[in-house]
Structure 1
Amino acid sequence: MTRFLFVVLPLAGHINAPLAVAEALRRAGHDVAWCGPESYLRPLVGPDAAVHPTGSRYYPEQDGHGPEALRFVWESYLVPMARFTLAKVERAVAAYQPDVIVADQHAFAGALVALRHGRPWATLAPSALELTRGPDADDLAKPHLDRLREKAGLPPGPVAEILFSPHLVLAFTTKALLGSTRLPQSCVPVGPAHGRGPAYDGFDWDWFDPDRQHVLITVGTLADGVDRAFFGTAVRALADLGDRLQAVLIAPAAAVPDPPPHILVTGRVPTLRMMPQLHAVVAHGGMGIVGEALANGVPLVIAPIRYDQPAVADLVAAAGAGVRVPFLGLTADELRTAVTTVLDDPAYRTGARRVGDSFPAAGGAAAAVRHLEQLPRGTVRR
């Protein structure tokens, strides 16, 4: 039995894969503990799981795009979160004495503590942000990470040493989607790993008309402040298509007053259960929703907002699994054309299935466990 400590962030797109991998480790007879905000983790990991609490910081609202949005999230959330949690991760490691630390790529405190104590560790890359930026993209990261290294009692070093464990990087996608993306030598694409996610049983499945196509529209959990206009565009785009489709729009009810009867506005849905019944997904390009759609052979319309989403949109388009549309300035006509294109042209579903077929072969959570089990235990020479 090996003891694994998962160091995670309270971000919806970052938790599903760790939950799946941790559950697979437990089924394989290993011991698992968590390090992160207990209020966020406890409903997901259950009352009996070991949680070493870090507390949390508020994720700031923003409306930027491109490089400025990336800079904002580093400076306003990721770096402050690492400073805030560093001592707490230290205490968790001292108390739990893990054989292996498994850290979210952006939970920098996990990597810093592993490096400081010479512990073997693995990077979890649930998003494509750093994968698509590449291991040499230190223009933004290096000054921040050098200061964090100093705080952790470490000398300056390369950015890649924090973002990409030299022992193992688990990327929850496959080369069928990544294409020619250059990956670090220690990186293993294992395909999506789907965990339980938050329990939700409140969707009215009888609402689905089996004689119509079904479309899911979501812009993720981090689009507050920029999503209201998009919701209106989406409703206008599909308003006259009620004879052929139904759409489920994930949005606050107040954001979409008086939607037509074939567009259901709801704050949450059981996404994994819904995917097999969908014919298209309109999304922002987060790797979580993209992986879930492609795993079910569902083509996408991607309107990327920020971070890695433009790169993911390009990867999906290059794989023939969907189309990219602009988020800013998108018109109802443009979105309607994009949706009907992926619904009517079977090549997009074929492309989505081609990528999705690569996921089981990559192994998912079971493959992640096999690689984690091969890591050395205890301490490693730096």
Structure 2
Amino acid sequence: GGGARKMSTIHAFTTPARGHLYPLAPILAELARRGHRVRVWSLAGELEPLRAMGIEAEPMDPRIEELQVDDWKAKGDMEATVRGFRCFLDRAPHEIAEIGRAVAAERPDLLITDINAYGAAVAAEASGIPWACFSPYFSWAPSNEVPVFGPGMKPMRGRVGRLRNAAMWRLVGFDLNRRFLGELNGLRREAEVPELGSITELWDRPHRLLYMTVRELEYPRRSWPANFRFVGPVAWDPPADSPDWLDAIDGPLVLLTASTEYQADEELIRTGLNALAEEEVFVVATTAGNDPAQFDVPANARVERFLPHAPILERAEAVICHGGMGITQKALAAGVPVCTVGWGRDQLESGRRVEAAGAGVLLPRKKLSADRLREALASARDSRTGAGRIARAMAAAPGARGAADELEAMAVIEPGRSAPAPLGADV
């Protein structure tokens, strides 16, 4: 574009989850690099690396950070979902207060919020400031063209599929609305913003929804909400060197990894190590949310709590993981097929989409056994072509730079007007 760029003040608010902060960080860093003043309220333990990127980072209200999702205690999938929503709504009043304070102290040109920050969404809408929301995981905006979000159902084409999908969305929507919509609308009334007809409308409200995946990995829909922008995955790894021992490993390598946010998935690591102990592969396992000391380590494996995944993915034949979006998209971006042992949360959905795209296999946790895992891994290793197709789509996606372009365009719009759609508005 011609002329001098307008320098804007941008406020960003995340939820207390690294899997939501890390995809946003490179976008904020890019905006800061372009000379904008970028402030983020986030996890107290993550502020230093953000500051090193030129971002003004503040700790979020500790009361928000204390409210961690406890869905791993749940007996079934629906109870787990309910615990997640409950946690997000418990945080909401603190988020509303925090954004209120920030905006009163300094009115920014743009607000960025996390899709799971339901209170932040209320405050952003009430402020009248141009507002973008980001989602690092697959959307549960309903459509009769796609299976209901959660259980990882197989896509079904044709009229029967549409009827099944519509019925399931109605059922799940009814249940969630019955439990939570009144409370959410109470917060919205207090803030004098329009009430929602369904909790799924959270996806429609922001002026822009930065959707951090590619169409090639998503189920096709004839129409997406007008505010969606597919920016592709945005990954940020705190800089790290390749470990020395990696070069010494000969032959095929498999990365086995669990969730960073604790979800009681030790069994995934244990079964993975046992299942592959006699196979002709070397297993690198990162236990993340789980203490590595509890595992017996076979001769063909190395177990650490955390390792930089990028250098391992350069060498890996396949990844076995819980299906979190971070590792799933990082593997696919490197062209590495994924064997997902879907544990819960959004993980069955990401695993099913990977399978539908021909880039890997989904093995739901209920079916996890050493034999089945070996079979699933063999099948995943045959999916390199599909993984390569997704990798090419991800390499061509707008990424952090394209997302920053989109946000810059929003920041120059006066409040009350809807922003134009630059960035290949291919929605």
Is the TM value for this pair above 0.5?
yes
Aligned-pair identity in percent equals: 28
Task: Write the distance in 1 (CA, Å) between the matches of 2:200 and 2:409.
Answer: 22
Q: State the AA in 1 paired with 2:347.
A: Q
Equivalent runs, 1:264-343 vs 2, <5 Å:
264-343=302-381
| AA matched with 2:372 | E
Assess, with a 3 A threshold, how the Cα gap between structure 1 residues 102 and 138 changes in structure 2: closer, same or farther.
Answer: farther
Q: Answer yes or no: is the 8 Å Cα contact 1:7–1:35 preserved in 2.
A: yes
Q: Which secondary structure does the structure 1 equivalent of 2:302 belong to?
A: strand
Structure 1 CA distance, aligned partners of 2:57 and 2:361? 41
1:97 correspondence with 2:107: yes
- CA 1:90–1:5 in structure 2 vs 1: closer, same or farther (change >3 Å)? same
Query: Does the residue aligned with 1:374 lie in a helix, a strand or coil?
Result: helix
Measure, in 1, the Cα distance between the counterparts of 2:379 and 2:202: 42
> Tell me, which stretches of 5 or more residues in structure 1 are unaligned?
none
- The answer (yes or no) to whether the contact 1:35–1:89 under 8 Å persists in 2 is no
Shift of 1:105: 0.5
Partners of 1:279 and 1:177 in 2: how far apart?
20
Conserved 8 A contact 2:268-2:322: no
Cα deviation digits, residues 275-297 of structure 1 (max 9, x gap): 22221111111211111011100
Residue 122 of structure 1 contacts residue 165 of structure 1 at CA under 8 Å; is this kept in 2?
A: no
Contact 1:299 1:322 in 2 (8 A): yes
- Larger RCO (CA within 8 A; separation ≥ 6): 1
- Do the aligned residues in 2 keep the contact of 1:252 with 1:266 (CA within 8 Å)? no
CA distance in 2, matches of 1:54, 1:370: 30
Please identify, of 112-121 and 155-164, the stretch whose mean Cα deviation from structure 2 is larger: 155-164
Cα distance in 1 between the residues matched to 2:394 and 2:246? 31
Question: Structure 1 residue aligned with 2:207, among 167, 177, 186?
Answer: 167
Partners of 1:218 and 1:144 in 2: CA distance: 37
Query: 1:78 and 2:62 equivalent?
Result: no
CA distance in 2, matches of 1:129, 1:262: 38
Where does residue 54 of structure 1 map in the other structure? 61
Say if 2:29 and 2:55, in contact at 8 Å, map to a contact too.
no
CA-based RMSD: 2.4
Contact 1:6 1:103 in 2 (8 A): yes
State how far apart, in whole Å, the 1-side matches of 2:248 and 2:283 are.
Answer: 8
Amino acid in structure 2 at the alignment position of 1:173: T
2:285 alignment partner in structure 1:
248
**Distance in 2, Cα, partners of 1:109 & 1:21:** 22
CA shift for structure 1 position 69: 1.1
Q: Match of 1:193? A: 234
Which residue matches 1:63? 73
- Does residue 412 of structure 2 align to residue 373 of structure 1? no
Mapped contact 1:98–1:378 kept (Cα < 8 A): no
TM-score by length of 1: 0.89
* Deviation, structure 1 residue 254: 2.4
TM-score, normalised relative to structure 2: 0.80
Q: How does 1:145-156 map to 2 (within 5 A)?
A: 145-156=184-195
Q: In the aligned structure 2, how far is the partner of 1:274 from the partner of 1:164?
A: 38
Residue in structure 2 matching 1:220, options 259, 283, 287:
259
State yes or no: 1:121 paired with 2:128: no
Q: What residue identity is the alignment partner of 1:247?
A: V
1:29 and 2:35 are equivalent in the alignment: yes
1:208–1:246 Cα contact (<8 Å) kept: no
Q: Does 1:236 align with 2:265?
A: no
Larger displacement relative to structure 2 (360-369 or 62-71) = 62-71
Residue of structure 1 equivalent to 2:45: 40
Asked whether the 8 Å contact 2:141–2:200 carries over to 1, the reply is no
Q: Tell me, yes or no, if the aligned pair for 1:297 and 1:352 is still in contact at 8 Å.
A: yes
Question: 1: distance between equivalents of 2:26 and 2:141?
Answer: 21
Q: SS at the partner of 1:78?
A: helix
Amino acid at match of 1:355: I
Q: Distance in 2 between matches of 1:316 and 1:36?
A: 30
Asked whether the equivalents of residues 129 and 308 of structure 1 are also in contact (C-alpha less than 8 Å), the reply is no
Task: Give the number of aligned pairs.
Answer: 372
